[in-house]
Amino acid sequence: MYDIDKLPQFIDIGFTGEHKFRDIQIDMSAWLEDMPNGVPSIVYIRPGETQNDAYIPTTTFSNNILTWQFTQTDVGGIEGNGVMQVWLEETENTTLVKRGKSTVVTVRVNGAITDPGDTDPPARTMLLNLEAEAETLAAGSSATAEWEHEGYYGDYKLKLGIPKGDKGDKGDQGDPAPEELITPAVDAYLAENFSNPSNPPLDRSLASSSSAAPADMVGSLKSAFNEFESNISKSVKSKNIYNEASAISGYYIDNTTGEVQTGGSYSYFDYMDCSEYSTLILSRSIDTLAGINIRYAFYDANKNYLSGGTGGGLTVTYDSDVLRYYATIATNGAKYIRLSYNTNEVLTNRRMCLGGSLIYVPYVSNLIPKRTDDNDHIVSSVLKNKQATATAASMGANDSLSVFANNVSTANEITFYAKITSFNRIDIGHVNASDKGIRLAIGNSKITYFVNGNNNGQVDHGLTIKDYIYVRIAVNNSNNDYKITIITNGGKYERTDNYWSGWYGSPVVTVGSSTSLTECKLVYNIDTLNSNYWIFGDSYLGKGNVRWPYYMFADGIKNVLLNAWPGASAQDIYPAFSNLIQKGNPQYALWFLGMNNADTTDLNVYWQINTENFIINCIANGIEPVLATIPNTPTQNNTKKNAYVKKCGLRYVDFASAVGASSANSSWYDGMLDSDEVHPTAYGAQALYLRLIADFPELLNMKELPA
């Protein structure tokens, strides 16, 4: 007898042609505790058949035991392996209320003699049914071999132990896999990961037969994997080795000898390690490098002078994509560089940078601090204070309590407690100063829902609110469901609703007229604050099946903080990022803003300022920043931002190429762009998700294993 929660992976159910000779029994007790009115059944696919041939065999059920006695219908076909799954269903008036499914079990139907003339001798039967498995043994040990066998006509298994051999010479690199082999592989991945009742499979009929999307998308993904290693290298080498705070005033570097000389209006910067670079980028914003009298010198590991130069010998270029002047300096294998300039000509707001980045990044001793824990992929972020709390000794009409502003859409909770002197109404929710967001007005008899300031309906809570009130709003992680709980001396009320839009402003409680409270406390908790992966964005970070996070959650990646709201720009989201890093430090922060910061003929300056502030604060807090290209659309031009992202030297996710939208006015690959010409379809959302895990595979570290 088998327990429903402990079914084996494999069950032998007999021989072809048998009828009511064998059976299996399954104890359903564990599941019936939760579903006492459930009716069990077995869904079975015979050897050699497909899912379309699945059927429910005859079973009996008594005293919590499900019995399947195998008939000729079940085992009368060919020998081989089929599959079965146990279902338990509760219905009410023919309507399905609840359904549970067991693990899928492989069932074996063994071959049998059908005609004496066809009888196989034991040796041939052994060979026909032979299975083999091998394990690698330590080098130098002896090889082993042993048999396993069940029944006269059962399976034979040869278990081999093979010592590990010496490592062979490295072979020649093969040709790249042809597209006709890669395309089925991508399709297989989609089918495996995106095919379930709540998550329909990719429908290639969305694309016309003439569309080049699948092959182009696969080529894009291939390039992403090929570029992954170089992207990691970029993220390390994009640091700024120039530390403005370390300036030594009154001296300059003699570029012909490497010696330090006295010079009243100069400052120099002592030995800076440049060994990671074959070429240094010296860049500055706002004005040219000319006129600041730069002098520099290179040294070996023992700090012996090698060579030097001046700013006058550099070729200065202005890059309109990143709005900076820059020059390149070959290091020629040097270990150190020292540099000086005329202090009167250098202002801090010019944001000078020396290193591997064309854009400005702040100086830190190491751009990305390396984690020392062997299990760095599961190390929690550094929590400073996971909860935010606001308190008040007393509150009256129009008084409010709030905590820091953010736009977190993944799992979070708002909790409020107070003692009641008199009660008429309190409003609790997550809204900004313009009342954008959602708040619940809890009155003496009803809850009124306000969405973006508009009355969205009422429900009766049926409570007599007195003495004290406790309110808790818990927001779901992978969808927008939420649950409200109210407890008072008059009882308890609970309700689940399906669309929480509290992504704006601050969690807040406001007291209504004729209400007086004491010992008030508001607590806001973000469950995903402990994630090592924080993602910031706009409507592309929604949770429906036309947004890529839907497929991330469906793929088992759930402990990720999403901070976004529809229509958000970089300047809208940056304040929330700045607030959140006061509460925790992830290992990575992914900045996917820009669709609502369209470029004109120039780079959108609001996007640039806030993106650079994001990068600076990431580095200052030991967080690795990851950027993204933004797909162009017929209505949105993002080419300047994308050029900036590709030139800045930081890691990025190439969303634009994933959907064929790297050029201005792109219409995307067929079937990927919604009719609004801004957002993806379900097909496009899946392509964006696949590109994300191609360019940033670390995210797969958070994938939950199936039960």
Phi-psi region of 140 (alpha: psi -120 to 50; beta: other; left: phi over 0): left
When pLDDT is cut at 50, 70 and 90, the band that residue 471 belongs to is very high
Integer CA distances (angstroms), 231 to 52, 240, 554, 690, in order: 45, 17, 27, 17
Residue 689 has pLDDT above 90, yes or no: yes
Rounded mean pLDDT, 615-633: 91
Integer CA distances (angstroms), 597 to 39, 406, 437, in order: 56, 20, 22
Question: Average pLDDT of the chain?
Answer: 80
Q: What is the pLDDT of residue 205?
A: 36
pLDDT tens profile 447-457: 999 999 999 89
Rounded mean pLDDT, 48-56: 80
Residue 384 has pLDDT above 90, yes or no: no
Site of tokens 């502003």: 405
pLDDT tens profile 200-225: 333 333 333 333 444 444 444 445 44
Residue 371 has pLDDT above 80, yes or no: no
Q: What is the pLDDT of residue 158?
A: 60
pLDDT tens profile 325-347: 888 999 999 999 999 888 765 54
Rounded mean pLDDT, 182-202: 45
2 Cβ neighbours under 8 A, 6+ residues apart = 8, 11, 24, 25, 26, 27
CA–CA separation, 461 and 448 (whole Å): 10
Q: What is the pLDDT of residue 236?
A: 41
Q: What is the pLDDT of residue 148?
A: 59
Residue 406 has pLDDT above 80, yes or no: yes
Rounded mean pLDDT, 150-158: 47
Q: What is the pLDDT of residue 608?
A: 87
CA–CA separation, 586 and 598 (whole Å): 29
Rounded mean pLDDT, 525-548: 93
CA–CA separation, 13 and 83 (whole Å): 11
* Cβ pair 417, 520 in contact under 8 A: yes
Residue 684 has pLDDT above 90, yes or no: yes
Q: How many residues does the chain have?
A: 707
Q: What is the pLDDT of residue 466?
A: 94
In this structure, what token pair is assigned to residue 526? Answer: 């973000």
Ranges of each domain in the chain = 2-110, 116-162, 244-355, 386-528, 531-702
DSSP 290-313: TTS--EEEEE-TT--EEEEEEGGG
Q: What is the pLDDT of residue 373?
A: 34
Strand ranges (E), 48-143: 60-62, 65-69, 80-92, 95-101, 105-110, 130-137
CA–CA separation, 632 and 237 (whole Å): 29
Q: What is the pLDDT of residue 167?
A: 61
When pLDDT is cut at 50, 70 and 90, the band that residue 299 belongs to is very high
Rounded mean pLDDT, 397-409: 92
Q: What is the pLDDT of residue 145?
A: 62
Q: Which of 201-215, 475-489, 516-530, 680-694 has the lowest mean pLDDT?
A: 201-215
Helix (H, G, I), strand (E, B) or coil at 410: coil
Most distant pair of Cα atoms in the chain: their distance: 109
In this structure, what token pair is assigned to residue 34? Answer: 């939760």
Q: What percent of the chain has pLDDT over 70?
A: 76
CA–CA separation, 334 and 673 (whole Å): 50
pLDDT tens profile 554-612: 999 989 999 999 999 999 999 999 899 888 889 999 999 999 999 988 888 889 888 98
Helix (H, G, I), strand (E, B) or coil at 131: strand
* Cβ pair 421, 410 in contact under 8 A: no
DSSP 645-682: HHHS-S-EEEHHHHTT--STT---STTTB-TTSSSB-H
Rounded mean pLDDT, 186-194: 50
Q: What is the pLDDT of residue 201?
A: 38
* Cβ pair 290, 272 in contact under 8 A: no
When pLDDT is cut at 50, 70 and 90, the band that residue 637 belongs to is very high
* Cβ pair 511, 398 in contact under 8 A: yes
* Cβ pair 475, 412 in contact under 8 A: yes
134: Cα separation from own chain's centroid: 37
Backbone angles phi, psi at 547, to 5 degrees: -130, 145
What's the count of helices (H) and strands (E) in the chain, helices before strands? 11, 40
β-partners of residue 401 are: 509
Q: Which CATH class is domain 531-702?
A: alpha beta
Backbone angles phi, psi at 646, to 5 degrees: -75, -25
CATH architecture of residue range(s) 2-110? Sandwich (2.60)
pLDDT tens profile 347-356: 444 567 888 7
When pLDDT is cut at 50, 70 and 90, the band that residue 19 belongs to is confident
CATH architecture of residue range(s) 386-528? Sandwich (2.60)
Rounded mean pLDDT, 602-626: 87
CA–CA separation, 288 and 327 (whole Å): 10
pLDDT tens profile 424-461: 999 999 998 888 899 999 999 999 999 999 998 999 99
pLDDT tens profile 252-281: 999 999 999 988 788 888 999 998 888 888
Q: What is the pLDDT of residue 142?
A: 65
In this structure, what token pair is assigned to residue 437? Answer: 């967001």
Rounded mean pLDDT, 122-139: 56
Helix axes 639-647, 605-620, angle to 10 degrees: 30
CA–CA separation, 445 and 462 (whole Å): 6
